[in-house]
Structure 1
């Protein structure tokens, strides 16, 4: 019973965690020379509404950095979305902690046998990758990656997308 209560308390904490975000850049790239960008590849395969929210969030972040969307810009932006199924196993033990063979190392039969119950929890993990390439050299200059458990609640998905993109661009070079 205590184990179920603890699990019930931990699940909301895990569900409210922020996306894991990593960012990488080419240190030789001159970001001050970039003023325009274009979408070489918009996200596909997920919900069209979520895909559009990703594009809108990236556009807003780049506009805030002073960049302008153009038909052929200085930088090509490509976004990829993928999901994968994961699972966790939670095992709860009941019975006396002195069960089994021996008791505190003195030998002899234990005080009783406990039981173990294992529950399988399936969940989906989503990954968003945003790549930027110098349009002239076609070399990668920046990459942001965000990973998060996917909620079935559209409001939570929107919040996760917003948090992920905002955190990716928090230290974007200028």
Structure 2
């Protein structure tokens, strides 16, 4: 139980990566008839891994698909899946002080010792990927991804998720073909 809660919290935190520095990409099948799709459903996994998907992501995607005129049903025209990943990273910052530090090896430095200081910044980078498949043909019709560095402040997570989803679904459905 604690492991599942921790996974949900970590996944939600990951989505903050989609904040102001998020990179958003979308791609779609130009042959897909987005204007003919009226409903969708979520693809569930037998392994139970869907429990890690934060409810705010599911609700956010639902809201954007419904705004496009699609309805969530048990067996829709389109199958939707979303995945979240995160990785740890570090940035190394070097600062050099003193005039002689860089030039002493040439013999023209001031002779005063220079100092080098290094600091390490830890960060998390997260990615959200949303895939959609035509239920009839089983072919991929749309993919969107948002990735970036997570904000340090956990209270900004939901706002970052919503902002990333806004950018991800800004041009959805492709070609302006709405099922409304």
TM-score range (shorter-chain normalised) is 0.7 to 0.9
Q: Given that residues 82 and 128 in structure 1 are in contact (C-alpha distance below 8 angstroms), is that contact kept between their aligned partners in structure 2? A: yes
Q: RMSD of aligned C-alpha atoms?
A: 2.2
Q: Which residue of 2 aligns with 1:138?
A: 138
Q: Which residue of 1 aligns with 2:13?
A: none
CA distance in 1, matches of 2:108, 2:152: 50
The TM-score with structure 1 as length reference comes to 0.79
- How many residues are treated as equivalent by the alignment? 152
SS in structure 2 of the partner of residue 99 of structure 1:
helix
Higher helix share: 2
The TM-score with structure 2 as length reference comes to 0.77
SS in structure 1 of the partner of residue 104 of structure 2:
coil
Q: Which residue of 2 aligns with 1:12?
A: none
Q: Which residue of 1 aligns with 2:98?
A: 95
The structure with higher relative contact order (CA 8 Å, sep 6+) is 2
- Structure 2: which 5+ residue stretches go unaligned? 1-17
How far residue 149 of structure 1 moved from its aligned partner, in angstroms, is 1.8
How far residue 17 of structure 1 moved from its aligned partner, in angstroms, is 2.5
Q: Alpha-carbon deviations, 1:1-33, whole Å to 9, x = none?
A: xxxxxxxxxxxxxx9724211111111111011
CA distance in 1, matches of 2:150, 2:108: 48
Q: Given that residues 81 and 127 in structure 1 are in contact (C-alpha distance below 8 angstroms), is that contact kept between their aligned partners in structure 2? A: yes
- Structure 1: which 5+ residue stretches go unaligned? 1-14, 103-107
Q: Alpha-carbon deviations, 1:114-141, whole Å to 9, x = none?
A: 2211111111111100000001111110
How far residue 35 of structure 1 moved from its aligned partner, in angstroms, is 0.8
SS in structure 1 of the partner of residue 138 of structure 2:
coil
Q: Given that residues 148 and 160 in structure 1 are in contact (C-alpha distance below 8 angstroms), is that contact kept between their aligned partners in structure 2? A: no
